[in-house]
Structure 1
Amino acid sequence: MKRMAKDWITLNKSEMVMDKLSNQFEMVTNKVGSWFHLVMYQWGLLVVIVGFLLGRAMILTELTPFVLPFLAAVFMLKRERAALAAMSLLAGALLSYHGEILFVLAAIIGFILIQKVVSKFFDDPIKMAPYTVFVTSMMMRLLVVFIIDGSITNYALMMATVEAGLSFILTMIFIQSVPLVTSKKINRPLRNEEIICLIILLASVMTGTVGWSIYDMSVEHSLARYLVLLFAFIGGAAIGSTVGVVTGLILSLASVASLYQMSLLAFSGLLGGLLKEGKKVGVALGLLVGTLLIGMYGDGGTNISVTIMESLLAIAIFFLTPKDLISNLARYIPGTHEYSKDQQQYLRKIRDVTAGKVEQFSNLFQTLSQSFQTEMKEGGNEEGPDKQMDYFLSEVTEKTCQTCFKKERCWVQNFSKTYDSMQNLMLETEKNGHVKDKILANEWKKYCIRSEKVVEVIKQEHSHYLVNQKLKKQVAESQKLVADQLLGVSRVMGDFAKEIQKEKQSFLLQEESILESLRLVGLDIGHVDIFSLEKGAIEMEMSIPFDEGHGQYEKVIAPLLSDLFSETIIVKSEEKNVYPNGFSHVAFVSAKRFVLETGIAHVAKGGAWISGDSYSTIDIGTGKHAIAISDGMGNGEKAHFESNETLQLLQKILQSGIEETVAIKSVNSVLSIRNNEEMFSTLDLAMVDLHNAEAKFLKIGSIPSFIKRGSQVIKIEASNLPMGIIQEFDVEVVTEQLKPGDMLIMMSDGIFEAPKHVENKDAWIKRLIYEMATSNPQEVADVILEKVIRSGRGAIEDDMTIIVSKIKSNTPKWASIPIYNQKIGRQAQ
């Protein structure tokens, strides 16, 4: 045990030491990184290095078109570094092999002078920068030639024009690419044009290393191949070959002997990009193969060993490149994994911000709801019965006792007796409408000299008091309704915020498995996108060739998917010929466990065109289906408008996601506030969950509904006043578990009340439903309506509507088709 304890202590100590070393190494790395950024970007060392190399660079053995474009770009974009850039250019030219120090000095001075003139006459100097560089380069080159040779030949004029033209183009390129190497952070991905400009700048910088060698190995060749390795590893074959072509072209202009480098770099970039799945080793292998194949031709074949050594040097530098540098650069190259990850992070940030805003609104509505409820409670506490009595009597005394000469005796000397007497008078008035008690009236007449006037004022104030109390009650009810509505909106927005924050899960493996399974059976599938694999809520989309309307999606692909997922999959939607290759966009979803088959029969009073009844079947989403009947008061156009308006409001509120009871209260509130006439409507609502066949019945002033289950008829009823009569009422919800084969019969009062000769209408309707020989919902609705009309000898004395819905287990139209590759099917699940 002691030995184990010692080993455990030793192990803990070693772990602590390792953690300490790791923390120290991380601190050192962070310090080195911060010092590197400080020196390179804040102190401008990177500008000095780039300027020095561009000052040395030359193409076509006598042209230096890089000096003025770099100076102009730094001057326009980072003017505080312009002096540093000018000195580094002069230093590069001074230590260069081309001997163009005089031209570089003249070009820098000439640019500064001409730029001052241009800035006085033009508002946008950046747009004028290429023209300024062209004029400066042309004038200074001809001036230097004239000073040295004493004359200007046609050849000198031609070369000066070529150099000025190249400077013109490079100025536009450097203005885009210089910020990429002088800024510490870039806050957006690079466009393709910016990537090319950056490569041209880097290749131009490499030409400044022409003439440098290490053991006969050219530094510019190794750096160019390193650049190709880096971009091929990051961007793949397309970016790698592009970098090879651009870099090889510029190097060949700098040194004609390096013309074969273009082929070597382009081919190596292509091979390296194709082999990037093999990580750094694969990209390096691509460079070696390209070096061996291309290096044997042209000038490279004479000294193949040096060419291979240059490639090995580039590979060594490539392997020593930190992963952080590569990943940071990859973030700005479209198409890379790091770029996609960065974009996803950005989208996630936007999503979280949006969800946070929605959550704030949800909290706001919840707070408002609580404030309404708090105000109601405080108002109720402040104005109790005693307080209300005091207010009432104060109004009475103000109009009667205030001007009486005996008020001192009544309210100061005998306050309790006066108060109790007036209170009794008020209670008597409230009970009977007047003072009916003779004893109380006589006592008050003996006590008060203005007894009749006081009694009269009490009667008047009591009517005002009742109106005031009714208004206060309505305000309280309205406040409660608004509080409930705000709370409902808060819950909806809270759920919406949670939905926003749900990330789309990655189903790459399952998508590949499904794609392979469908292609193995001979189907041409473009791509598969899976959004959900939750049992009963599967959702996916595919691109499939248009089948000319033969039903391939429904008859073949959906049954195959049903076998893969062991549940029924159906086609949700289809968009024909959406993609450029003629493929269609098809969405597949899980079928619901139950379906409703509905039949409707209705007729207006007296066979008229417009019925006061309205009905609706509403697909709310999330697997819920609503069936509703509304009966407007009376008949004709007004009743139809009232009932239809009720259903329209209800549909909009339900589809917004608000709970059924709150939705009905909201509709009732709107109707009660809007109604100036005695126009009311009933509502019979059934909410059926197609996932578990549970039904909720909400009956507002409507008659009973019935469920036929085999030989049994079940009555569903609830008692609520019609909508629009009062603002506040409790919605009674009746829940019933339906079973496959059940028929739900809902009807308006025109059906239920039609048989005048029948006393027990419940029993009559039940028997009518029980005796139905058919189970087809539409036939049941038609037969019931016909028999009800016949029972009244053909007279239609009221609007009649009946809806019959039969719940059935969802039997797929097409049987599943087994796929022989069951391994892939299980993997997809």
Structure 2
Amino acid sequence: MEKAERNLVEPVQNINMNQTRARFSKGMEFLLKKSEVLFIQKGLLIFIIGFLLGRAFILSQLTPFSLPFFAAVLMLKKQHAPIALIGVVSGAITISFGHTAHSFLLSLAFLLFFKITKQGKRNPYRSLPLAIFTFTLIGKITAAFINNGFISLYDIMMGSVEGCLAFILTLIFLQSIPLLAVKKRKQALKTEEIVCLIILLASVMTGTIGWTLYGVSIEHVMSRYLVLIFAFVAGATVGSTVGVVTGLIFSLANISSFFHMSLLAFSGLLGGLLKEGKKPGVAIGLFISTLLIGMYGQGEGTLVKSLYESFAAIVLFFLTPKVLTSRIAKYIPGTTEYAHEQQLYMRKVRDVTAKRVNQFSAVFEALSHSFQQNEIGDEEDENKELDYFLSNVTEKTCQTCFKKDYCWAKNFNTTYDGMSKIMQDLENNDGQLSQKVKRDWSKHCTRSNQVIEAIRHELSFYQANQKLKRQVKESRKLVANQLQGVSEVMGNFAREIQRERENHEAQEEQILDALQSFGLDVSQVEIFSLTQGNVDIEMTVPSNYANGECEKLIAPLLSDICGENIVVQQKEQLFLGGDIHVIFRSSKRFTVSVGVAHAAKDGGLVSGDSYSTIELGMGKYAIAISDGMGNGERAHHESNETLQLLRKILLSGIEEKVAIKSVNSILSLRTTDEIFSTLDLAIIDLQDASSRFLKIGSTPSFIKRGNQVKKIQASNLPIGIIQEFEVDVVSEQLKAGDLLVMMSDGVFEGPRHVENYELWMKRKLKELQTDEPQEIADLIMEEVIRSGTGEIKDDMTIIVAKLQHNTPKWAAIPLNITKRKAL
């Protein structure tokens, strides 16, 4: 019973704990937002910084902080300039009245100078540091003259030193104040911005010199707390940098604090190295540093005091909420929070880009549908056009006829139908009217010959108008198909964008360990995909791996690890003598070797046939033959233009049926000449050996598998004859070792005294004793030419493609390495 109650109570306690944590997190976020409003928007942070800088000293005499800070705030955040001035003056009051008057008058003089010269300067940021240097030097010399009654060389030197410091601090404050004065920062901090921010914070802390609480120095506590925060957030590099810069600023402000720089630097380094232990690890680093540095002759009392100060800094460090440290870490490159923030930003950019591409895709699809819509009431429009046609005829003939009322009022249908029959008969018989229609019309109309001639005359305009409308309609269909294809391509592109790179850190480590255990020096491995058949791995290898190590060793090892053939896709040396960036991809399961034989009519130089092999994306391979009508330059131009258009459209990613229809529409609409071309297209998928054949007016193709020969044929008119046609697609499953033979009509119909070209070609293919594509192409071409008594009566092109299993030159070496199932 007690166990059952405990099982019921524990989940409830966990839920309550999670709810408490969520409420605490929300409460901290609320406090941070309120703090941002108070400290940043209201200017309280500017006041505090100004107050501490107003009482900060360097070398116990120089006060170069006040004027640069006020000038930077005046330049960057003009609305907060009065608050900055009040803060600086308030801090100076805690030192002395003379220091207060000096800071106030110097700031007031610069303000007047700024108001006077602001209008005439295009870029006041450039001249601001020099102006600060001048005012600081003059102010220091004037103060020395008022106090001593004369100006010594020492006063000029100290004034110059303070002016130089003010010059540098102005540049630093111009970089660092925007980091504190903005409400929300989206970009990461640059290295120089981090250093400037650290100098600003260290300079602010010098204003706490002399403050103690129960014997504990506030300046030491705050400086160590600052080092702890940056070491915990950014690691050893930034932590040690913060320690060195902060210690240097404190040592300039107070010579007795020089040893403190060593403590802070060592604390930042050790704490950053122990940051994997979270806050306790960083705290332990500070304690160890305090003990080690405190042993060098500082005395037991000083060591105990330093330990108290470190303990106070650690208490503040542990009280710092995680929300604050995480927010700081977002802006420092190299941190996990920064990487996560960048990933979120990139995901947002990716989603926005994909959304915009999808919107464009939807626009193109809508435009395509708009162009594809049939005209509303096509039959009504045809009737209207017929009515307009007959109206033009009656206007020229029936308007002056005395039988007008009899024909159109009493016998409208008979008259209308009679004229329509004459029009159709003339249109169907190339302008010739049959005797029967002419005789019937003569019985009805007293002006039959005049009406017939008018109809014949108007018919030419009517036919021209109809032809123009058909061309416009086909043009609209062409545009609709192209827009639909572009829409599909953009939709696919948007889906590709939205595919995130998967996290493969564990697999990357496994591959890196496997390669290094084999003795290969690989510095970096990045896995983008481990999908079967689509493996994508990138590596960085040394520059001395230029003798085939990637192809001979690394690729076979990866093949053994991934369980499939991996090949080197691309190698690129990053810079002269530098490392080599290598891309490894999955090899295709099949490869195609091609042989071509080509001859022009009568042995000429220009053939009307054109051919092309195209490596498409996604592991597809296309083979195409086009035969232009006739021979010579014009036929070659037509066939070559067909293949060039097809190549560009296919490479864009548009589906092959849409591509062929687009090519047909373009070629049929661009000229009125009766110039046509055939197209024989085969697309082979190199992953599964499936193939698609699109034969547009072309001769059959043949697949030879062993002693079997199979014919591939489809019935489609040549390209360019009609504007609209459906493309028949023939699909076949190929196998390794298959031979695909494609040819133009000059080869297929070339043999003389042959009644059945198909049986002759099958017999010749079966008789072949070789399976080399180039040898087969040459042998078939030779047989065809010999059968024609040595004459080439037409342009001839034959392409033979052999499908084989793809075995890389350096195949996988059998090793006992973890297989894909472990990846």
**Rounded Cα–Cα distance in structure 2 between residues aligned with 1:742 and 1:435:** 58
Q: Which amino acid aligns with 1:589?
A: R
| Cross-structure match for 1:346 | 345
Q: Is the 8 A contact 1:276 1:283 kept in 2?
A: yes
1:414 is displaced (CA, Å) by 3.2
Aligned match for 1:644, one of 640, 661, 664: 640
The alpha carbon displacement at 1:418 in A equals 2.6
Q: CA deviation at 1:676?
A: 4.7
- Alignment correspondent of 1:679: 675
Partner AA of 1:814 in structure 2: W
Letter in 2 for 1:519: Q
Q: Does 1:621 align with 2:617?
A: yes
Per the alignment, residue 378 of structure 1 pairs with 375
Q: Deviations over 1:686-737 (max 9, x none)?
A: 1111111111111111111111111111011112222222222211111111
Deviation at 1:46, TM superposition (A): 0.7
**1:421 pairs with 2:418:** yes
Percent of aligned pairs sharing the same letter:
55
Provide the rounded CA distance (Å) in 1 between the counterparts of 2:375 and 2:38: 67
In 2, distance between residues paired with 1:645 and 1:710?
36
Greater mean alpha carbon deviation, residues 119-128 or residues 434-443:
434-443
Deviates more, 1:681-690 or 1:280-289: 280-289
Verify: 1:634 aligned to 2:630, yes or no.
yes
- 1:633 Cα deviation from its structure 2 partner: 1.9
**Any conservation in 2 of the 1:225–1:311 contact (CA below 8 Å)?**
yes
CA displacement 1:662-704 (0-9 Å, x = unmatched): 1111112222233354332211111111111111111111111
Q: CA deviation at 1:362?
A: 1.1
Match of 1:788 in 2: 784
* SS of residue in 2 equivalent to 1:745: strand
Q: What is the identity, as a one-letter code, of the residue corresponding to 2:601?
A: K
Residue deviations 1:515-562, cap 9 Å, x none?
110000111112112121100111112122345653222221111111
Q: Any residues of structure 2 matched to 1:265-344 within 5 Å, and which?
A: 265-299=264-298, 303-344=302-343
Is the 8 Å Cα contact of residues 675 and 724 (structure 1) preserved in structure 2?
no
Structure 2: how far apart are the matches of 1:88 and 1:549?
A: 65
Equivalence for 1:466: 463
Distance 1:676 1:309, change over 3 A: same
Identify the match of residue 561 of structure 2 among 561, 564, 585.
564
Residues paired across the two proteins, number: 822
Judged with a 3 Å threshold, the aligned counterparts in structure 2 of structure 1 residues 427 and 360 are, in CA distance, closer, same or farther, namely: same
Structure 2 SS opposite 1:259:
helix
Q: 1:26 to 1:811 in 2, by over 3 A?
A: closer
CA distance in 2 between partners of 1:5 and 1:430 (Å): 96
Is 1:507 the counterpart of 2:467 in the alignment? no
> Alpha-carbon deviations, 1:795-829, whole Å to 9, x = none?
1222211111111122333332233343xx45762
Following superposition, the deviation at residue 401 of structure 1 comes to 1.6
**Measured at CA, do residues 790 and 36 of structure 1 come closer, stay the same or move farther in structure 2, by a change above 3 Å?**
same
Q: Provide the rounded CA distance (Å) in 2 between the counterparts of 1:348 and 1:789.
A: 63
| Residue in structure 2 matched with residue 730 of structure 1 by the alignment | 726
1:223-278: CA deviation from partner (whole Å, max 9, x where unpaired):
11111111112222111111111100111111111110111111111111122222
Partner of 1:155: 154
Give the letter aligned to residue 234 of structure 2: G
Counterparts of 1:549 and 1:274, CA distance in 2:
37
Match in the other structure for 1:607: 603
Which range moved further: 121-130 or 722-731?
Answer: 121-130
Instruction: Check 1:442–1:563 CA distance in 2 against 1; reply closer, same or farther (3 A cut).
Output: closer
Deviation (angstroms), 1:311: 0.9
Is 1:492 the counterpart of 2:486 in the alignment?
no
Separation in 2 of the partners of 1:446 and 1:622? 72
- Distance, in Å, in 2 between the alignment partners of 1:516 and 1:662 is 49
Residue 477 of structure 1 pairs with residue 474 of structure 2: yes
Answer with 19-28 or 546-555: which moved more.
19-28
Instruction: State the partner residue of 2:586.
Output: 590
- 1:431-470 matches, within 5 Å, as 431-432=428-429, 441-442=438-439, 444-470=441-467
- Measure how far apart 1:356 and its partner are: 2.3
Match of 2:400 in 1: 403
CA contact (8 A) 1:333 1:339 kept: yes
Match of 1:142 in 2: 141
Tell me which of 706, 710, 713 is aligned to 1:710: 706
- Give the aligned CA root-mean-square deviation in angstroms: 2.8
1:219 to 1:608, Cα distance in 2 relative to 1, 3 A: same
Match of 2:199 in 1: 200
CA distance in 2 between partners of 1:119 and 1:660 (Å): 67
Are 2:43 and 1:49 aligned? no
Structure 1 residue ranges without an equivalent (≥5): none
Other-structure match for 1:761: 757
Q: TM-score, normalization: structure 2?
A: 0.94
Residue pair 1:41, 1:182 contacting (<8 A) in 2 also: yes
- Mean Cα deviation higher: 204-213 or 441-450: 441-450
Q: Secondary structure of 1:233's match? A: helix
Larger CA deviation: 508-517 vs 475-484: 475-484
Q: Following the alignment from structure 2 to structure 1, what is the Cα–Cα distance between the partners of residues 377 and 211?
A: 93
Contact 2:541 2:579 survives alignment (8 Å): yes
- Counterpart of 1:654 in structure 2 is 650
Q: Which deviates more, 229-238 or 455-464?
A: 455-464
How many Å separate the matches in 1 of 2:784 and 2:806?
33
Note if 1:91 corresponds to 2:90: yes
CA distance in 2, matches of 1:579, 1:287: 42
Q: Is the 2:239–2:271 Cα contact (8 Å) retained in structure 1? A: yes
Kindly report which structure 2 residues correspond to 1:204-219, keeping only aligned pairs within 5 A, or say none.
204-219=203-218
